Amino acid sequence: MSWKVACIQMDVAYGDPETNYKKAEEKIAKAAEQADLVVLPEMWTTGYDLTRLDEIADKNAEKTVNFLQKLAKKHDIHLVGGSVASEHEDGVRNTLLVINREGELVHQYSKLHLFQLMDEHLYLQQGEDESGFHLDGHSLAGFICYDLRFPEWMSKPVHKGAKALFVVAEWPAPRVNHWRVLLQARAIENQCYVIACNCIGADPKNTFAGHSMIIDPWGEIVAEASDQEEIMTGTIDLDEVTEIRKRIPIFEDRRPDRYS
């Protein structure tokens, strides 16, 4: 089973949801011309304008879900719809959205690990959701940015059968080398595809790295974007995951009883 995947590496307009919805609609339409599955970056509706989230967050992510549902149906694509600031009674969460090509909301995951260096813990509520979901009968999982530094969390859905891990991010440029190495490590140690969509551009406190990537289960780079705004594409073959896991059966040799 192969998919053509497109990552929309966009320059997110800081604190300006309407501009970002318009840009995303245009770029999704373009990406859908060549892809079965399209991925958006982290916090793509607002950027990290955290101090104004009470004004610009999307209540229960309803507007964004409706927006993505219409586009998924219109273009007949699956959407790993990045993450958005989703407002709830207890506060705002950084929530990843997954929509299938029928326009159904398949999954929501709110970021478990909050990044204190960007003050997330001051403005966002920690998520408690599971990361796994299914598209076309395939087990997959989605994570958000800082989650990448927690291998135990990212391996959890793999032990339940996940064949690809999606990472949506606003990863800063000064640590782009960490981004690239950690993505390859997660692919190798989990023997699965890693599809990572970052943003580019800058806000008042950060400059973002770009370098969205698609990495195969051997850790080889299928596609890598630049540090400019672009739509990056690559093909993933989920059957390859099963074959590689047979060739080096690391999961059969695990000793979790000795790991704690």
Distances in Å between the Cα of 249 and the Cα atoms of 62, 155, 252, 253 are: 42, 15, 6, 7
Q: How many residues does the chain have?
A: 260
Which token pair is 140? 């997959």
pLDDT digits (tens, 9 = 90+) for 59-111: 999 999 999 999 999 999 999 999 999 999 999 999 999 999 999 999 999 99
**Total count of domains within the chain:** 1
Of the residues 23, 27, 111, 163, only one is catalytic, namely 111
Task: Determine how many CB atoms are found less than 10 A away from the CB of residue 243.
Answer: 11
Of the residues 7, 23, 27, 145, only one is catalytic, namely 145
CATH number for the domain including 212?
3.60.110.10
- Per-residue HEC secondary structure of 83-148 comes to EEEEEECCEEEEEEEEECCCCCEEEEEECCCCCHHHCHHHHCCCCCCCCEEEECCEEEEEEEHHHH
Query: What CA–CA distance (Å, rounded) separates 225 from 154?
Result: 23
Prediction pTM value = 0.97
Does residue 145 carry a catalytic annotation? yes
Does residue 7 carry a catalytic annotation? no
Return the pLDDT at 260: 83
Return the pLDDT at 1: 74
Of the residues 7, 27, 42, 192, only one is catalytic, namely 42
Does residue 111 carry a catalytic annotation? yes
List of the chain residues with pLDDT < 70: none
What domain range includes position 192? 2-258
Query: What CA–CA distance (Å, rounded) separates 131 from 63?
Result: 22
Q: What's the sign of the alpha-carbon dihedral 145, 150, 153, 154?
A: positive
